[in-house]
């Protein structure tokens, strides 16, 4: 009786791992050029419609606005950063990839100091949980941390992986939507694309 159960669990694990690998490579990881094929909101990749960059700009999606509290309780809105490139990263303490990615974002923020703002948006966790996690990583003072108790930002992206990150240009358009983790070099490359 135990052997069939173990086989079924093993098959389930393999199927889930395969789904993760397939989803991780979805086209929503490239330049944003329109509505996402699976979410109805997020951008797609590809090079967009043939023609000038002006025709491609017409198909870009605006980043979802938000009004969320930082660790001190101050309300922060995306529109506060209009005219400046912004990176918005959706993270959680339970996300294994976030343990490496948040410190990488903090390091990249220092490299691009004054050129881009990186905002880390916690997914529906308490202030205590989120702050303890960022304190443990030593990045609390390096990034802007916001709390999203309703998980509305992640849902507005059509999120289905962790972490989810959007790279927003100075005009508020999503240029890249990355589903899943990334390393510092990919962060740098995407940031250069919104400067």
pLDDT digit string, tens, across residues 66-113: 999 999 999 999 999 999 999 999 999 999 999 999 999 999 999 999
Q: Which of 146, 179, 139, 174 is nearest to 163 (CA)?
A: 179
Find the mean pLDDT for residues 190-194. 98
Q: How confident is the model at residue 6 (pLDDT cuts 50, 70, 90)?
A: confident
Helix (DSSP H) and strand (DSSP E) numbers for the chain: 6, 7
Cβ atoms of 179 and 95 closer than 8 Å = no
Please state the pTM of the whole predicted model.
Answer: 0.74
Q: 50 pLDDT exceeds 50? A: no
Find the mean pLDDT for residues 42-47. 37
The CATH number of 2-192 is which of 2.60.40.420, 3.40.30.10, 3.90.230.10, 3.40.50.720?
3.40.30.10
SS3 131: helix
What's the mean pLDDT when you consider all of the chain? Answer: 83
pLDDT one-digit tens code per residue, 127-173: 999 999 999 999 999 999 999 999 999 999 999 999 999 999 999 99
Give the whole-angstrom CA distance, residue 138 versus residue 102: 10
Query: What is the structure's pLDDT at 15?
Result: 61
Query: What is the structure's pLDDT at 134?
Result: 98
């Amino acid at each position: 009786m135990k052997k069939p159960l173990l086989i079924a669990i093993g098959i389930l694990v393999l199927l889930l791992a395969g789904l993760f690998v397939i989803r991780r490579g979805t086209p929503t990881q490239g330049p944003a050029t329109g509505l996402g094929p699976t979410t109805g909101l997020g951008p797609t990749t590809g090079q967009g419609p043939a023609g000038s960059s002006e025709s491609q700009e017409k198909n870009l999606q605006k980043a979802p606005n938000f009004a969320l509290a930082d660790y001190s309780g101050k309300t922060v809105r995306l529109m506060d950063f209009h005219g400046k490139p912004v990176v918005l990263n959706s993270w959680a303490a339970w996300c294994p990839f976030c343990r490496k990615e948040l410190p990488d974002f903090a390091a990249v923020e220092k490299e691009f100091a004054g050129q881009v703002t990186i905002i880390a948006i916690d997914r529906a966790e308490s202030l205590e949980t989120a702050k303890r996690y960022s304190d443990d990583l030593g990045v609390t003072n390096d990034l802007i941390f916001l709390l999203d108790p309703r998980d509305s930002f992640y849902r507005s992206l059509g999120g289905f992986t962790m972490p989810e990150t959007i790279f927003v240009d100075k005009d508020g358009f999503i240029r890249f939507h990355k589903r899943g983790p990334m390393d510092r070099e990919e962060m740098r490359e995407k940031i250069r694309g919104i400067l």
